[in-house]
Amino acid sequence: MRRGCTAAALLLAVWAAAWAPSATASGPRFDACVTVVADPGVDPGTARDCREALARAWPAMVADVWPIDGARPRFEIRLMTTDGFRALHRDRIADWGVGLAADDRAWVDVERSLGGGRTAAHVTLHEAVHCLLHQALPGVTGVPAWFHEGLAQDLSGEWRFRDTVSLILDGHVPDLARLETGFPADAGRADQAYRTGLLAVQSLRDWHGRDVVPRLIDAARREGDFRAAMSEVTGAEPSAFRER
């Protein structure tokens, strides 16, 4: 696990460097915003890899998800063993789940094998994006699950391991309208849903510019409704985006 996390950290470092120019010098600092704690039994090397990957990716994540001057997010990420994670969240998450996030904290199972090259470092970044979105959009209505999950995959680097092309070729793209409030619990259907969310966020960037996410978040904060923000930023109703 540690060897995989180290490789992932190197990949994430390259990815973060490519995005770094978009981060502003006045952005909130990682060490002032995020606390990463490791439970007893968590491999110290794995914990270090997760912390380092998140610290490197932080400027790019903040530039995209936190277009807010004069404020900073604050949350804790808890790295856990599989036994500890399952004992705490057994009733709140599907059997295949390895991460969970709320407003000011996230929990990551760093021991379970994810397969396909994804590591605990990717999950740590994924859950950090959820925390940032929760805190960037307090009280905003209509924030779709597909946007949360698609953006978390995109900014964590998981897009490298998610095949959206076959989803299209197979003709099995789930309706975005069904992914507004939550994702399926069934592993197979959930995989389709995650890939669809990623495809939707990537399409937003392709059609409306690389800066579409911070513009959406800024508009949603002003409007108090994500659907109104979609209309303002894309120039069309959310239903038109779903159909496209």
Looking at residue 105, the DSSP 8-state letter turns out to be E
pLDDT tens figures, 5-30: 444 444 444 344 333 333 344 589 99
Q: What is the structure's pLDDT at 171?
A: 65
Q: For residue 132, give the H/E element and its range.
A: helix 120-136
Closest to 142 measured CA to CA, from 173, 177, 174: 177
pLDDT tens figures, 171-222: 667 788 889 989 888 888 888 889 899 999 999 999 999 999 999 999 999 9
The Cα–Cα gap between 218 and 222 comes to 6
